[in-house]
Chains A and B, each alone.
Chain A
Amino acid sequence: MFELFKNLGTWLTSGSQWAGQDGIAHRLGEHLQYSLLATLIAAAIGLPLGLLIGHTGKGAFVAINLASFGRALPTVGLVVLVFLAGGLSMLPVYVALVALAVPAIVTNTYAGMTAVDPDVKDAARGQGMRGHQVLLQVELPLALPLIMTGLRLALIQVVATATIAAYVSFGGLGRYVFDGLAQRDLVQVLGGAVLVAVVAVVLDLLLSSLQRFLFRHRTA
């Protein structure tokens, strides 16, 4: 056990491990690229959807159920399925990651919108604001903290799951996990797992402090 951790330490800290095409720095960049792009696409789908449902109050039942249905969708299965259907490309990975992220974004955006005090919305309307003005100038700013939480949750889940890109022969930090499993090289597997975990935890901390900084003037 102790030997294992010593080897793991050596693996993580040796300069040669960090350099080159298979190096940690390069794999880390790939991992972040997959995760950020997938989260952006998911946000482009999930945010308008959540805002619209929250604003109109229509389709909430369907959306919430679809979201919990989405939570049940096994990511591994989805990647393999799209891979078998569409062949070798990054598409399966992005489809699976986006499918994973959209429910978290939709449900949190919707939750943020429903948490907006109806009196405030009435007041805005009473002042002569139109529907889209109420949405953009009143509801959206008030719902923003919960929307941000949704985006953060989505990104963390995506970072954790982007490991799967390596399963269908792409890069990212999952490379070490799957190569290590294939080569029965436990140190490499553990190294990859530790790196993914560290990236997820660090991103979560960064985003939550950013969130605290942005909303530092709010009492609730």
Chain B
Amino acid sequence: MTIDWSWIGDHTDDLASLTLSHLQAAMTAVFFGLLISLPLAVVAHRVRPLRGFLLGLSNVLFTIPSIAIFVLLLPISGLTRTTTVIGLTVYTLVVLLRNTVEGLDSVPAKTKEAAKAMGTRPLRTLLTVELPLALPVIMAGVRIATVMSISLVSVATYIGDGGLGQLFTDGFQRDFPTPVIVGVVLTILLAVVADALLVALQYVLTPWRRRRA
């Protein structure tokens, strides 16, 4: 199996746009995943009876195969980017929800009491005390969700999307390994770079953790 280097040279523009579209699908999914799971996690954290239900529900959603989710969405959103993003978002929920709830749980009760004693209102406590302290655990979830989404985007190639995944179908149909190898390498690179950027973002967002460790 040899790599046809000239193919890569001839297709740099295509590769760049596929990588960009791949990244865009994954990022949009993580964004919507956070948008949905943050409020749900706050609810699950505060209302105990709902906690088991919400976490259980996201677990069941996670067991549904990705290809099945994409396919099940076809009657609703068709062969579009929307289907890809909805499917990926569903997958991010389980990680994001669980980690956000665990992050909120990890905030010491004394800290919350101190905030209350200082007259901080509940919403303000949530935004300025609890969420920042929960951030490391939430970010761990965001990292897993991002890497997972980047790897999963290629599954959407079966419904005509899939970013770099299109290189797999292309190589498979033409019995031509180069695009497949390039696709695999770019996907992993994208995941590694995105993960490193998130680590850097966490470092910037949590200045109080730097003195320790």
The answer, yes or no, to whether B75 is at the interface (CB within 8 Å) is: yes
In the complex, the answer to whether B74 meets A186 with C-beta atoms within 8 Å is yes
Q: Would you list which residues of chain A between 143 and 200 have a CB under 8 Å from chain B?
A: 156, 159-161, 163-164, 167, 174, 177-178, 181, 186, 189-190, 192-194, 196-197, 200
Judged by a CB distance under 8 angstroms, whether A62 is at the interface is no
9-residue interface stretch from B5-13, B42-50, B115-123, B188-196 = B188-196
Tell which of B28-36, B102-110, B178-186 binds the partner. Answer: B178-186
Interface contact B147-A72, CB-CB below 8 Å: yes
A72 and B192 within 8 A (CB):
yes
Write the nearest CB–CB distance from A82 to chain B, whole angstroms.
10
B97 CB–A CB distance under 8 Å: no
**Measuring CB to CB, which residues of chain A are less than 8 angstroms from any residue of chain B?**
1, 4, 68-69, 71-78, 80-81, 83-85, 156, 159-161, 163-164, 167, 174, 177-178, 181, 186, 189-190, 192-194, 196-197, 200-201, 204
Is B172 in contact with chain A by the CB < 8 A criterion? yes
Q: In the complex the two chains form, is B65's CB within 8 Å of A80's CB?
A: no
**List of A residues within 8 angstroms of B144 by Cβ:** 71
**Nearest CB of A to B90, in Å:** 12
In the complex, what residue of chain B is closest to A1 when comparing beta carbons?
A: B75
Contact between chains at A84 and B157 (CB < 8 Å): no
Q: Which B59-95 residues sit within 8 Å CB-CB of chain A?
A: 59-60, 63-69, 71-72, 74-75
Q: Is the interface of B mostly helix, strand, loop or mixed?
A: helix
5 A-B pairs (CB sep. < 8 Å): A84-B175, A85-B177, A186-B74, A193-B68, A204-B63
Q: Digitize B154-191: 1 where CB-to-A-CB distance is under 8 Å, 0 elsewhere.
A: 11011100001101110110011100110110011001
Q: Are B168 and A76 neighbours in the complex by a CB distance under 8 Å?
A: yes
Interface size of B as a range? 35 or more
Contact across chains for A197 and B175 when beta carbons are under 8 A apart? no
Inter-chain contacts of A194 with B (CB < 8 A): 68, 72
Q: Chain B residues near A177: list those with CB within 8 A.
A: 67-68, 71, 158
Contact among B66, B68, B195 for A68, CB-based, below 8 A = B195
- Residue of B69, B148, B154, B158 near A77 (CB, 8 A) is B154
Interface: B150 (CB within 8 A): yes
* Contact present for A72 and B64 (CB under 8 Å): no
A172 to B195, CA, bound (A): 34
Residue in B67, B159, B184 whose CB lies within 8 Å of A74? B184
Answer whether A201 and B180 are a contact pair too, CB < 8 Å, given A72-B187, A72-B191, A74-B168.
no
Contacts known (A1-B75, A72-B188); A80 close to B171, Cβ less than 8 A: yes
- Closest residue on chain A to residue B63 by CB atoms: A200
Residue from B155, B180, B192 within 8 A of A80 (CB atoms): B180
Residues in chain A near residue B169, CB distance under 8 A: 80
Is B151 positioned at the interface, with any CB of A under 8 Å from its CB?
Answer: yes
A197 to B73, CA, bound (A): 14
Tell whether, in the assembled complex, residue A76 and residue B64 are in contact, meaning their CB atoms are under 8 Å apart.
no
Is B72's CB under 8 angstroms from A72's CB? Answer: no
Inter-chain contact B66/A160, CB cutoff 8 Å:
yes
Q: Does B1 contact A (CB under 8 A)?
A: yes
**How far apart sit A43 and B176, CA to CA, in the bound complex (Å)?**
33
Task: Assess whether B154 is in contact with A69, with CB atoms less than 8 Å apart.
Answer: no
Are the CB atoms of B154 and A74 closer together than 8 Å? yes
Knowing A74-B183, A76-B168, A177-B67, the reply to whether A69 touches B188 (Cβ < 8 A) is yes
Tell me if A190 and B72 are in contact (CB < 8 A): yes
